[in-house]
Amino acid sequence: MKLRISSEQLSDQTPGLLVLLYEGTTPMFNLPAKAFKTLQGREQFEALTGDQEVWSFRSGQQAVLYLSTSQVKYFTREEKLKTLASRALKAAAKYKLSAIQVPLSITEMLAPLAEGFLISAYKFDKYKSAKKERPTPEVTFSVPGGDAKALTRTLARAQVIAEGVNFARDLVNEPAEAIYPETLAQAATEMAKKVGLEVQVLDEKALAKGKFGGVLGVGKGAARPPRLIVLRYRPKARGGVHLGLVGKAVAFDTGGISIKPSSKLWEMKSDMAGGAAVLGAMMTIARLKPDIRITAVVPSVINAVGPLAILPGDIIASRSGKTVHVDNTDAEGRLILMDALDYVQDEGATHVVDAATLTGSIVRALGTSYTGAFANDQALVNRLISVGKEVGEEIWQMPLADEYRQQLDHPIADMDNVGKGPNGGSITAALFLREFIRDGSRWVHLDIAGTSMADKAWKYFAPGATGVGVRTFAALAESLAAEGANIKKG
């Protein structure tokens, strides 16, 4: 989708959809009164709007759409504007207008608007035999007297962020037949080459050599072998912080021998959303170039039912040496993450953040708008919550309740892979992961089971993958890099 800045004043002859944005009833634009006499005026807006968008058709080629932040319930100011951008795009499509004009006087709002357009323009229609011919409209922000160069940089930055988000969404929306460990590794490799990241893929032989018992154990049941994808971002000047990003990439989760019920089972093609978020974030980070060292580790398997599938009662030796009894083969995410977390710390990560569609329990606790966070370091989780809010990805901290740790004790292995009883499952899952975090490592686990897929249109997202985590991780990298720079300055 093309976005541009124009320093020219709009005229009421400009064709396309003219989008007039209001914050409440205050215009966010400044149009010459003369030319736009018929469009001006707060009274007119108030009288006409209520909660509805107001249209005025000026010809077949021209229409005016009034949008106000008061038409969007909930959410931050930025999120409201992103949502309004998506409405403008829908309106242009509905009336087959191929250009959108947005006069804007409040330029801090350019970034969220641009992001709203770019994220809402995303389509996953490659499997439709009849493609919609209509191209995505071009959006022109008219900012007379603005610093066009700086504003164009703002657009470029929004592009880089949205491309990371949409890259992750593509990976998640693809069925498991298309995206499985080897093809995910291929996609990661191609992306890494394009943006200039180091890439390493461990195949089943390398995984055996590296004693990745969890990844191999869960991967055994599928004809498609597992992979572990490693991406390294090493800027020239670096400080002491080394960020490790780890993402669960179960290309499909049947539950294994502890098989899942079939209702909505197709959704388990998205059980690699944590891995996709890490890959999308690395794509964005490589282009934004924050000054911080980052290593990304994405373990990928298919949790299948097969003659060699891991069996309940089996005992796995993890990479760390701890042994794990597999009570339930559907608690597979933690079994691949335990090895990846161990590996990323061997690589020298000081700050580790993982993202995983880990539990149904977090969906019951927080629903689909909040990602759950579990942390051994309050400063790091505070930072994640705060950058998450800024970028529009809400995070809620959950307790790592020590008291529940005993639920993971097991008579014949070091640990069991599930807690006891039906409750608190997202907490015992996080406590399980914590067993693989070493003293001194700062760590946050994000359970994105509820937030990775939208089952209906939500904010500026179409139904399907949301790419959750990409924007938060990119913002975290920038935030840690900025702090490092401050520390260096003294």
- Please state, in angstroms and rounded to a whole number, the distance separating the CA atoms of residues 407 and 410: 8
353-372 positions binding ligand BES, by CB under 6 A: 357-361, 363
| Among 232, 260, 289, 322, the one annotated catalytic | 260
| Among 80, 269, 334, 459, the one annotated catalytic | 334
- Residue of 332, 342, 354, 393 that binds ligand BES (CB under 6 A): 332
In the bound state with ligand BES, the residue whose beta carbon lies nearer, of 246 and 481, is 246
- Residue of 16, 333, 464, 467 that binds ligand BES (CB under 6 A): 333
401-420 positions binding ligand BES, by CB under 6 A: 418
Instruction: List the x/- string, 221-260, binding to Zn ion by CB under 5 A.
Output: -----------------------------x--x-------
- Residue of 115, 253, 354, 478 that binds ligand BES (CB under 6 A): 253
Q: Please, which contacts does 38-45 make with residues 24 or more away whose CB atoms are closer than 8 Å?
A: 38/12, 39/12, 39/64
* Residue 82 a catalytic site member: no
Give burial (CB, 10 Å; 0-12/13-18/19+) of 189.
Answer: middle
In the bound state with Zn ion, the residue whose beta carbon lies nearer, of 146 and 275, is 275
Task: Find which of Zn ion, ligand BES, none residue 425 binds, CB within 5 to 8 Å per kind.
Answer: ligand BES
Q: How far lies 155's CA from each of 40, 162, 345, 403, in Å?
A: 28, 10, 36, 49
CB of 249 to ligand BES, least distance (A): 11
* Site for Zn ion contains 333 (CB under 5 A): yes
CB of 449 to ligand BES, least distance (A): 4
Element (H, E) at 430: helix 425-434
Among residues 65, 76, 70, which one has the least CA distance to residue 112? 76
- Please state, in angstroms and rounded to a whole number, the distance separating the CA atoms of residues 416 and 410: 5
CB of 83 to Zn ion, least distance (A): 30
How many residues bind ligand BES (CB under 6 A)? The answer is 16
* Site for ligand BES contains 447 (CB under 6 A): no
Rg for the chain, CA atoms, rounded: 24
Provide the token pair at 432.
């399980």
DSSP secondary structure string for all residues of 168-210: HHHHHHS-TTTSSHHHHHHHHHHHHHHHT-EEEEE-HHHHHHT
Please say whether the beta carbons of 227 and 185 come within 8 A: yes
Residue entry with tokens 């959410």: 75
- The piece of 47-55, 91-99, 142-150, 351-359 that touches ligand BES (CB under 6 A) is 351-359
- Residue of 115, 170, 174, 271 that binds Zn ion (CB under 5 A): 271
Q: Where are the alpha helices (DSSP H) in 377-424?
A: 378-391
Q: How far lies 344's CA from each of 229, 230, 231, 256, in Å?
A: 11, 9, 11, 27
- Residue of 328, 350, 368, 369 that binds ligand BES (CB under 6 A): 328
* Residue 260 a catalytic site member: yes
Residue entry with tokens 């990844």: 215
Q: Which residues bind Zn ion (CB under 5 A)?
A: 250, 253, 271, 330, 332-333
Give catalytic residue positions.
Answer: 260, 334
Q: Which residues bind ligand BES (CB under 6 A)?
A: 253, 271, 328, 330-333, 357-361, 363, 418, 425, 449
